[in-house]
């Protein structure tokens, strides 16, 4: 007898054999038991999770000689023929190769005939989304009102490609990716049946690599048996498929969260030298950070996907980072993963991503500073786990008085507040110094000089250089702040600082209105006010003109 692979040998034969699809099996069992059978079903989901197997089980339940029954016997001729794929009454059609109008017309002709042996003639169309629009349209009427002895069962991985008119005529069942723990348990069941020693860690490694697909996991186990024989360890799984061990991902995450840059880079180099796939390692790292985020939100949500040992690691890492920081890390590594897909040197981008992530964790955000200042004023301690950078400043401020008395808390609060104020003053000083350099380069006469005398720097927001003016001068500023003047200011700012800027004018209370504008709404009575403007000078040269007062 020829060898039969695990994926076929251990294909589910009853609803109870389905792994991880309880919501589907329960609904179908109730429908069969209560004789509430629809004329068309649509099974949706990714590859290898049981769509075709579920369709065959449903067909056996309907055509079993002891049925309709929720537990087909599997011994009668109908059950054996359906399981073997050679039943005259269960016609399996590949949508990819039978997608024309002629194929559908032939199907419409055949549905009129009664089943040969069973109660129903069942059409099982796999990858139904591959049918052409014309074939879908030809099927509509038959699908809506088929003969009583006909049932349609469709399966697809891409439901968005199926016409809405087809979807509305079917009962849709969405099959989910199977949790890793359930896949590992099923692999252990197969190993016991086959007299194979499968280490629990190896089973979990296969389950993680299968990414929710049971058929993929069974195929991987089949390959490992051919490679290893009767005993399979976690190292065998990692070596054959290039996976990274769960503990390695946990260690790498811990080093990143603790800010251990040399150790994190060293671990990455070890994995690279061992021949591990950098893209796979990045994917595993992002998946672990996602698990950490879910764990922080709801610890019991990962009970089926994560083994108890990994949950302990998640609990320890959850204490080291806040949700906001964790979201930033996921975004940073996801962006790095996108760059790595097209980069020849993937390790380089991985190294940069790790260093950047650790640096971002060490930086205190403005929200954290404000929040911690509020806590200090309320007499609360700052948690080093939540904000190491802020806590470090507070710890330094508290060294003179370690007793934790109100006076020491006030001292820490005052010190932190002073530090925050100095930071703001330093940023403001930089803006003032930069503006002074710009003003020094502006001609002494002209519209740009008039504009510069009515505004003053009020801060920097990213690449925006904010220039404030009195609300009373808004209309006059708008008259002077032409596109050309803005460009000149931005050019001067770039020359003074070496970086690009975008000038923003902001009306702000407390800035006195400018008295030297004159009446800009009427005629400018003195040509001296604008004759030095670069635009005017350029116009004079082009037209060979003169300015007369």
| Predicted pLDDT of residue 380 | 57
Between the two ends of the chain, the Cα-to-Cα distance in Å is 110
Topology of domain 246-362, per CATH?
A: Zinc Finger, Delta Prime; domain 3 (1.20.272)
pLDDT tens sequence across 115-133:
888 899 999 999 999 988 8
Q: In the predicted model, what is the mean pLDDT of residues 134-161?
A: 90
CATH architecture of the domain with residue range 180-241: Orthogonal Bundle (1.10)
Q: In the predicted model, what is the mean pLDDT of residues 176-197?
A: 92
Q: In the predicted model, what is the mean pLDDT of residues 321-346?
A: 90
* R_g of the chain, CA atoms, integer Å: 36
Lowest mean pLDDT among 257-261, 429-433, 453-457: 429-433
Q: Would you say the CATH fold of 246-362 matches that of 180-241? A: no
| Predicted pLDDT of residue 360 | 87
65 contacts: CB under 8 Å, gap ≥ 6: 73, 76, 77, 78, 79
What's the CA gap between 319 and 436, in Å, rounded? 47
CATH code of the domain occupying 442-513+526-542: 3.30.300.150
**pLDDT for 438 beyond 80:** yes
What's the CA gap between 229 and 19, in Å, rounded? 26
CATH homologous superfamily of domain 6-174? P-loop containing nucleotide triphosphate hydrolases (3.40.50.300)
pLDDT tens sequence across 195-235:
999 998 899 889 888 888 999 999 999 999 998 888 999 88
546 contacts: CB under 8 Å, gap ≥ 6: 540
Concatenated DSSP letters of 44-69: E-STTSSHHHHHHHHHHHHH-TT-S-
% of the chain exceeding 90 in pLDDT: 32
Lowest mean pLDDT among 103-107, 135-139, 253-257, 380-384: 380-384
**pLDDT for 396 beyond 50:** no
Q: Which burial class, exposed, middle or buried, applies to 479 when counting CB atoms under 10 A from its CB (0-12, 13-18, 19+)? A: middle
- Yes or no: say if 220 and 203 are a contact pair by the CB < 8 Å rule: no
pTM beyond 0.75: the answer is: no
* Domain residue spans of the chain: 6-174, 180-241, 246-362, 366-426, 442-513+526-542
What's the CA gap between 153 and 383, in Å, rounded? 58
| Closest to 7 measured CA to CA, from 240, 231, 210 | 210
């Amino acid at each position: 007898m020829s060898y039969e692979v695990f994926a076929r040998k251990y294909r589910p034969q009853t609803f109870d054999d389905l792994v991880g699809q309880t919501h589907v099996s329960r609904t179908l069992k109730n429908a069969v038991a209560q004789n509430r059978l629809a004329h068309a079903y649509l099974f949706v989901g990714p590859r290898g999770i049981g769509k075709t197997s579920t369709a065959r089980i449903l067909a056996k339940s309907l055509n079993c000689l002891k049925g309709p029954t929720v537990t087909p016997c599997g011994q009668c001729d109908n059950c054996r023929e359906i399981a073997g794929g050679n039943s005259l009454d269960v016609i399996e059609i590949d949508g990819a190769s039978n997608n024309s109008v002629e194929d559908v017309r032939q199907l419409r002709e055949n549905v009129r005939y009664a089943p040969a042996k069973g109660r129903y003639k069942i059409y099982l169309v796999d990858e139904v989304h591959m049918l052409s629009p014309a074939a879908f349209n030809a099927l509509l009427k038959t699908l809506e009102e088929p003969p009583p002895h006909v049932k349609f069962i469709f399966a697809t991985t891409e439901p968005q490609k199926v016409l809405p008119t087809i979807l509305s005529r079917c009962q849709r069942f969405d099959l989910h990716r199977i949790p890793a723990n359930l896949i590992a348990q099923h692999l252990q069941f197969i190993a016991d049946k086959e007299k194979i020693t499968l280490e629990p860690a190896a089973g979990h490694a296969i389950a993680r690599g299968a990414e929710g697909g049971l058929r993929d996991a069974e195929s991987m186990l089949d390959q490992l048996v051919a490679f290893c024989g009767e005993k399979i360890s976690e190292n065998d799984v990692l070596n054959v498929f290039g996976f990274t061990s769960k503990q390695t991902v946990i260690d790498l995450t811990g080093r990143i969260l603790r800010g251990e840059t040399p150790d994190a880079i060293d671990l990455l180099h070890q994995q690279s030298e061992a021949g591990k796939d950098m893209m796979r390692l990045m994917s595993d790292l992002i998946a672990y950070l996602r698990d950490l985020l879910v764990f922080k939100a709801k610890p019991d949500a990962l009970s089926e996907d994560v083994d108890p040992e990994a949950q302990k690691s998640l609990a320890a890492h959850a204490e080291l980072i806040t949700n906001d920081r964790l979201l930033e890390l996921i975004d940073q590594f996801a962006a790095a993963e996108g760059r790595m897909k097209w980069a020849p040197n993937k390790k380089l981008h991985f190294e940069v991503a790790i260093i950047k992530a650790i640096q971002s964790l060490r930086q205190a955000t403005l929200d954290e500073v404000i929040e911690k200042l509020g806590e200090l004023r309320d007499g609360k301690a700052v948690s080093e786990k939540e904000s190491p950078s802020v806590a470090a400043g507070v710890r330094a401020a508290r060294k003179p008085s370690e007793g934790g008395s109100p006076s020491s808390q006030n001292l820490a609060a005052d010190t932190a507040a002073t530090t925050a104020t100095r930071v703001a003053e330093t940023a403001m000083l930089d803006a003032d110094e930069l503006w002074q350099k710009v003003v020094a380069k502006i001609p002494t006469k002209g519209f740009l000089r008039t504009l510069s005398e009515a505004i003053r720097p009020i801060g920097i927001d990213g690449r925006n250089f904010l220039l404030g003016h009195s609300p009373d001068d808004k209309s006059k500023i708008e008259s002077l702040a032409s596109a050309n003047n803005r460009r000149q200011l931005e050019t001067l700012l770039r020359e003074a600082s070496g970086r690009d800027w975008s000038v923003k004018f902001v009306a702000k209370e407390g800035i006195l209105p400018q008295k030297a504008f004159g009446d800009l709404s009427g005629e400018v009575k003195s040509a001296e006010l604008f004759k030095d403007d670069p635009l005017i000078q350029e116009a004079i040269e082009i037209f060979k003109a003169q300015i007369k007062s």
